[in-house]
Structure 1
Amino acid sequence: MEKQRYTNLDAFRGLAALLVLLFHSPFFYGHKTTFIFNSDIFVDFFFILSGFVIAHAYKSKIDSLNFQAYMQNRFARIYPLHLALLLAWLVFLSLKHLLYTQLNLGNTDPLINNDFTSFFLNLFLLNAHNLDDQLTWNAPSWSIGAEFYTYLLFFVVSKSIKAKNLLQWSVFLIVLAYTTLYILKPITLLRTFDLGFIRAIGGFFLGVSVFIIKEKTELNYSSKLKVSIIEVVLLLAVISCITILAKYKLGQLTTFLVFTLSIYYFSASNGVISTLLKTKTMQYLGKISYSIYLTHFLIINIIINIWQYFFAKKGLSINIPLADIYNTSAAPFLNTAIILITCLISAITYKFIEQPFQQKLSAKRVVK
């Protein structure tokens, strides 16, 4: 029997991917809203949701789960598109390198930081393990590297303990991960290339924990008015946390908990917000969300280069402060264009890379 799909959460994944896109876009008019400025924290929403979904898919059959098949399926889900985008970045930065060396276009050689060593780390999904000193190549893919090895940790932990102890071990790993980040990094828990793997462990096992709790509890969704009110309150809580608290460590922990509570409630809710999330557009957005997440940074960088060239053609130095370059009345148009182009490209990569390679590479059986 096919497992239940959490359609509300699928749609949220798409919205979160677009908010990360807007976080990475440099274009704004007057000022970038605090909510968008802090939206990098939605990566933690992905981690928590991933833990929830993986626990849903594998917890009940972990005793008979085959390691090779399990990791093969996880690899088939995330790696083909990651590799395709990494190669696309190789082409893009190689062209920029030629333009810099041959025509003196650009301020720096893009291959200085994006070198062979960093390419190797990205290729083997080791770009979130403190093996480099900055984000390189397709920068958002650090979270893919962090998540892949978190899949491995989930298998090891689940196989090593009794199923009834998974919640306790998940809580232990959550506390260990966030305590480590809290102690080692004095300003923010939102680590990437350095301690991104630790950050992913905390979020992922939050998701595992909330799935286990959900299995043991049952909420009353009979009153649509009451459900709708709670949905609105949760969304307002998410927006408020990100706007007010997300730049501070305790505020980030609070935001993670609100994410977790939202996933718990929306996984089965049927209020007005859920009705909107179940529309075809929102569901398709969720379907291509992984492509949106991995493709958007390249698209943004291409548009940035075009924009900078436009300024140079007008006789304006591209060495002026970036805020002066990207603070433009055209920002709403540019950001809308970035979203539309990214969604279009993502629909293509989903159809021709994600789907076929996942079908081709996935294991036929995941249990012994």
Structure 2
Amino acid sequence: MTQAAFLNPTRVSVPAQTGTKAGTRFLVLDSWRGICALLVALFHFPTSSMISQSAFIGSSYLFVDFFFVLSGFVIASSYGNRLNEPDDVARFALVRLGRIYPLHFVMLLAFAAFETLRLVLPQLNGTGPAPFTGGFDIQSFFANLFLVQDLGFENQLTWNAPSWSISAELFAYLLFAAAVFVAGARAWVWFVAAVVTAPLFLLAFSTHHMDVSFDFGFIRCLYGFSLGALLAWFQHDSIAEARQALAGGGARLAWTVAEIVMIAVIVVFVSLAGNSDVGIAAPFVFALALYLFAHEGGWVSAMLRTPAMLMLGALSYSIYMVHIFVQARMINVAGLIQRKFGLGLVGDIWVRDHDAIGFGASSPWVGFVAIVVMLVATVSISWFTWRFVEMLGMTWSRRLAKRI
């Protein structure tokens, strides 16, 4: 999940101009965040369809690293010279916590409510473990409540599984603030150290290549976050200047070709590298893509600036945080319907070399329809959580931060 790693997405319309270098908003990167969130959701959804079985979707867990790189880029662009006093650090921490925690808390309560419901209605259990056991035990609940589930307290993914990345990113925020506050203009040295040592650590100790979460997820997050911060540290102003030049009319065709080639590179890389140590290079591939699309120079970028795509970017954090709950409840409901009417909706399927309970055991077309339903349901619910949880949380935290 995502995945976590999201900037305030309140602006969903295209402004008349991009503004000054200090106030530049990278709208196309917001849209990319939404696309990546959907790809992570597809990765987690077990079906027998060709989409789920494809090598690209099978390795789309790597798009969580896009979130990390983008988060580092955005945070360093916004706060690289604004953390000079202890009060600045306190405000930063409070605003970032208000950005990620309210929705995390709401989804944790949603999972806890369903576990409680399973106690009351045993028919919901199916063949799964008993309520409040396994990855849904009380001890893990408190680790998730305090967002420390990615700091060595757990030996498996627990509760809302994608929230491991939110835990990792929160502490990446704090380390970033500490580095900038202490080292100032020399903070980039610490980011370089993380970018050099983190991939070497993963190569040496990870048994699942880049697919680490509860175990080495913080190292993975720090790697991508630091790389994004370095890109902002040394390239933010040059990107902003280039954007202003492109706004006056430039070689759109050349930029469009570069964007299309970059997309092809990402598809090929993710498809081929996700199941090998080569995947550990993913943050560098995504940093290159981020650098290119931050210029917003081609027609692909123009498409990504449309209101629908910007809204998808605005919903990205909610998509990332709610999709597992939506998918699990879809399987629960389909199982009940299947037992009642004998329909072949869900069952044991083989997904990317693993056994799973998912859609399409009787026909891949069932899996395809389930994907469409899942995406529509996830995006629809995400709009409500974005509007009534994320927005309220951001408003509250910013008002509180102003009092410091």
Structure 1 and Structure 2 fold alike (TM over 0.5): yes
1:358 aligns to what?
394
Partner secondary structure for residue 61 of structure 1: coil
* Equivalent position to 2:208, from 187, 192, 197: 187
Asked whether the equivalents of residues 178 and 189 of structure 1 are also in contact (C-alpha less than 8 Å), the reply is no
Q: 1:266/1:316 Cα in 2 relative to 1: closer, same or farther (>3 Å)? A: closer
Runs of at least 5 residues in structure 1 that lack an aligned partner in the other structure? none
* Equivalent position to 2:184, from 162, 174, 183: 162
1:24 maps onto 2:48 in alignment: no
Q: 1:285/1:103 Cα in 2 relative to 1: closer, same or farther (>3 Å)? A: closer
Partner secondary structure for residue 321 of structure 1: strand
How far apart, CA to CA, are the structure 1 residues paired with 2:84 and 2:220? Answer: 27
1:134 aligns to what?
156
Runs of at least 5 residues in structure 2 that lack an aligned partner in the other structure? 1-19, 351-356
Asked whether the equivalents of residues 66 and 366 of structure 1 are also in contact (C-alpha less than 8 Å), the reply is no
Instruction: Report deviation, 1:33.
Output: 0.9
1:89 aligns to what?
111
1:343 aligns to what?
379
How far apart, CA to CA, are the structure 1 residues paired with 2:37 and 2:80? Answer: 26
Counterpart mapping for 1:18-167 below 5 A: 18-29=38-49, 32-64=53-85, 66-100=88-122, 105-113=126-134, 114-163=136-185, 165-167=186-188
How far apart, CA to CA, are the structure 2 residues paired with 1:213 and 1:130? Answer: 33
What TM-score do you get using the length of structure 2 for normalisation?
0.84
Q: 1:167/1:117 Cα in 2 relative to 1: closer, same or farther (>3 Å)? A: same
How far apart, CA to CA, are the structure 2 residues paired with 1:325 and 1:263? Answer: 34
Asked whether the equivalents of residues 138 and 297 of structure 1 are also in contact (C-alpha less than 8 Å), the reply is yes
Instruction: Report deviation, 1:308.
Output: 2.3
Instruction: Report deviation, 1:290.
Output: 0.5
Asked whether the equivalents of residues 10 and 283 of structure 1 are also in contact (C-alpha less than 8 Å), the reply is yes
Instruction: Report deviation, 1:160.
Output: 1.6
2:218 aligns to what?
197
Query: How many correspondences in the alignment?
Result: 365
Amino acid at match of 1:137: W
What TM-score do you get using the length of structure 1 for normalisation?
0.92
Q: 1:254/1:89 Cα in 2 relative to 1: closer, same or farther (>3 Å)? A: same
Instruction: Report deviation, 1:179.
Output: 1.8
* Equivalent position to 1:302, from 329, 334, 338: 329
Amino acid at match of 1:47: F
How far apart, CA to CA, are the structure 2 residues paired with 1:7 and 1:285? Answer: 11
How far apart, CA to CA, are the structure 1 residues paired with 2:229 and 2:209? Answer: 23
How far apart, CA to CA, are the structure 2 residues paired with 1:130 and 1:172? Answer: 22
My pick for the range that moved more, 60-69 or 313-322, is 313-322
Instruction: Report deviation, 1:134.
Output: 0.7
Counterpart mapping for 1:204-353 below 5 A: 204-215=225-236, 217=238, 221=246, 222-249=250-277, 251-313=278-340, 321-323=348-350, 326-327=359-360, 328=363, 329-353=365-389
How far apart, CA to CA, are the structure 1 residues paired with 2:172 and 2:251? Answer: 38
Asked whether the equivalents of residues 291 and 350 of structure 1 are also in contact (C-alpha less than 8 Å), the reply is yes
Amino acid at match of 1:132: E
Q: 1:103/1:18 Cα in 2 relative to 1: closer, same or farther (>3 Å)? A: closer
Q: CA RMSD in A?
A: 2.4
Q: 1:331/1:45 Cα in 2 relative to 1: closer, same or farther (>3 Å)? A: same
Q: What CA deviation, in whole Å up to 9, does each residue of 1:293-320 have, x standing for no partner?
A: 1011100000011222333335589996
Asked whether the equivalents of residues 31 and 305 of structure 2 are also in contact (C-alpha less than 8 Å), the reply is yes
Q: What CA deviation, in whole Å up to 9, does each residue of 1:116-139 have, x standing for no partner?
A: 110001001111122111111111
Asked whether the equivalents of residues 31 and 313 of structure 2 are also in contact (C-alpha less than 8 Å), the reply is yes
How far apart, CA to CA, are the structure 2 residues paired with 1:325 and 1:75? Answer: 35
Asked whether the equivalents of residues 61 and 367 of structure 1 are also in contact (C-alpha less than 8 Å), the reply is no
How far apart, CA to CA, are the structure 2 residues paired with 1:152 and 1:70? Answer: 9
1:10 aligns to what?
30
Instruction: Report deviation, 1:159.
Output: 1.3
Q: What CA deviation, in whole Å up to 9, does each residue of 1:100-127 have, x standing for no partner?
A: 3x78744421311111110001001111
Instruction: Report deviation, 1:325.
Output: 5.1
1:175 maps onto 2:196 in alignment: yes
What fraction of aligned residue pairs are identical, expressed as a percent? Answer: 33
